Amino acid sequence: MSMAAVETKKITLRTADNHEFEVEEAIAMEFSTIKTFFDENPDASEDTIPLPNVTSKCLSAIIEYCKSHLAFRARETSSSIDEQVRTYDEEFVKARDNESLKELILAANYLNIKALLDMLNQAVADRIKNKSVEYVRRFFGLENDYTPEEEAAIRAENEWAFEGVDPDDD
């Protein structure tokens, strides 16, 4: 056994497009799906884990994210760290187009990374906020399956409950 500094243990992941990624154990454990797998199969740590639902583009983005957040968490909590985390998250999302956001959500869901998933869900919610129905349909690539009468009925229904005015604080 070598006396030199031992690198942290690495885990190999294979993506859907047959790329192999070596990640540090700490990062792999951020993926709850993988963590659970290893908890149940402690001998499997040398094997390559196949991820048939994740592309290499997605996985490298996710690894970046987890690495950065692990680094943030290692530092002391303070409001300036919070500020930096917020900025990092904003930039992470800003750079993605709608397609990549959707892919990332599916990947984060599959790998079960709660913090990333929450953040991405919020980002998508922010993107469809205050947009028209057509925009939301295009964003998600959905077809309208309402008849005109059905659509009018739903529009009328939506007028019933009002919103936007909060009761004054006494």
Interface residues toward another protein, by CB under 8 A: 99, 102, 105-106, 109, 117-118, 121-122, 124-126, 128-133, 135-137, 140-146, 149, 151-165, 167, 170
Task: Please report the sign of the dihedral spanned by the C-alpha atoms of residue 39, residue 40, residue 46, residue 50.
Answer: negative
Three-point CA angle 23, 57, 34, nearest 5°: 40
Residue 26 or residue 124: which is nearer to another protein going by CB? 124
CB atoms closer than 10 angstroms to residue 36: 11
Partnered with residue 143 across adjacent β-strands are none
Residue 40 or residue 170: which is nearer to another protein going by CB? 170
Whole-angstrom distance, CA of residue 95 vs CA of residue 42: 37
Closest distance of CB 27 from another protein, Å: 23
Residue 11 or residue 92: which is nearer to another protein going by CB? 92
Crossing angle for the helix pair 32-40 and 98-111, nearest 10 degrees? 20
Residue 41 or residue 135: which is nearer to another protein going by CB? 135
Closest distance of CB 77 from another protein, Å: 20
Closest distance of CB 139 from another protein, Å: 9
Closest distance of CB 168 from another protein, Å: 9
Residue 23 or residue 111: which is nearer to another protein going by CB? 111
Q: Is 71 helix (H, G, I), strand (E, B) or coil?
A: helix
Closest distance of CB 2 from another protein, Å: 46
**C-beta pairs of 94-99 under 8 Å, 24+ apart in sequence:** 96/61, 98/127, 98/139
Whole-angstrom distance, CA of residue 123 vs CA of residue 70: 21
